[in-house]
A and B are shown apart, each in its own frame.
Chain A
Amino acid sequence: MDLIQYIPRLLGGLVVSLQLTVIAVVCGYILGLFFALGSTSRRKAIRWSAIAFVEIGRGIPALVLLYMVYFGLPAFGLLLSNFTAAACALIINTAAYSAEIIRAGIKSVPSGQLEASQALGISPTATFINIILPQGLRSSIPALMGLAIMMFQATSLAYTISVNELMSQGYQVSMITFEYLNVYALTGLVYALVAVPSTWLSIAVERRLSRGVSVSV
C-alpha cells in the first residue's frame, strides 16, 4: 500500500471540506434564524417571502443550487471563485433547512409559557427574546447538529466545480495511482471518521437535552 504517502493530501482536502462546513453552518444558521423569525411574522409580505425562500431552498437539489450559483452569477457581473460559489450555495441550502428546524423548535415551546409571561406583565418582545426563543433553540440543537453533519457530507458536491476539498483530492489521487477502489475507500473512510462520531455525539446530546423535559405538555 503506497497510498499512505497520499494521506496528508487527503487530510489537506479534509481541512477545506471542514472550512466549507463551518462557513455554511455559521452563516447558514444565522440566516436560518432570520428566516425562521420571518416565517412566523405577522406581516404577510415578510411571512410569505420567508416561506418561499425556505421552500425553494429545500426543494432544489444541492447540486443544482451549486451549479446555479457557479454558472449563474457571472451573468450578473459577479465573478466568484469556486470556493466562494460553493460556500454561497451551501449557505443557501443550510439557511433553508435550519430555518425550518428553528421554526419547528420555536413552535414546540408550550403556549403556557407565553400565557405565563403575559400574566406576569412581561412585554411581548422580552417574552419572545428571553423566554420563547432560548427554549425553542434548545430543542432545535439535536436537529441542527444533524444538519451540520449533513452539510459536511454535502461539501463533497463542491468537487463538481473543482474546489480542492476531500472528494477532489481523492479523485486526483485516484487518477495518479489508478487504485480507484482503495483510494475511494480511503476517501470515504476519512468522511466516515468525521461523520460517524459526530452522529454519535449528536445522539448523546439529544439524550442529555431530553433529560428532565417532560414529554407530555
Chain B
Amino acid sequence: MESLAAFLIRRVVGVLGRSCRWRDPTGEPIDRWIGREGPVVLVAWHEQAVLLAHWMRRRILVQGIPMAVMSSQSRDGEIGARTAAGWGVRVERGSSSRGGSVGLRRLYRAVKKDGFSVVFLVDGPRGPRYEAKPGAVVLAQMSGAPILPVAIHAERVWHLKSWDRMIVPKPFTRITVRRGEPFAVSPEDDVETARVGLQNALNGLQETPKCTD
C-alpha cells in the first residue's frame, strides 16, 4: 500500500510540477547554492514539501548532487521515505519524536563522511507550524555544513487539511524559488539563538499565496 501511495505521489508531483512555470529570481546555477563548496543543510517549512520535492528533482538530483533526508517512522513517514527514495534521495528514518537520535546521527554521517547535502523540513514532523526545531541547527554545528534557507512559493494553490496545511500547486501556476543567505553554526554558537535565526530567515522568505482554497 505504501509503495503504491509513493508511486502515485511521485506521478502527481511530476505532472503538476511540469505544468507549472518555475522562476528563480536569483538566476544562479544551482551548484552555486548546493554542492560546490561542500554539503549544505537545506531548510524549509514542512508545508512546502511537495514544491520542494519537485524543485529538488528538476534542479538538484538531475545534476547528480547527493541529497539525504530524514523521514519519520510513522506510516506517513514510510510513504514519504519511499517517495523520496524513488527519486534517488538517501533516506534515514527517525524524527524528533521517535528514533530521532539514531536518524539524526545517520544524517550527520551522510554529511560529514559521505558529503551528502541534507534537506530538513524544520517544523516537522508534527509542528507547531512555522516553529523550527533545533535538529538542523545541531546537525550544521556538529558537521560544519552551512544552513541554507529556502522558500518556494506558488501563486495558485490547494491546501491539504493537515497540521501544516501542506501546499499543492494548481496546474499551470507560477512558482518562485527563493533562498536566504547561507550561514554557518560554529561550535561556540548558542543553539537556541541559531534556531531563532533560522526561523526568522525562513519567515523572511515567506510570501502569502495570492489565490488559495
Asked whether A and B interact, the reply is: no
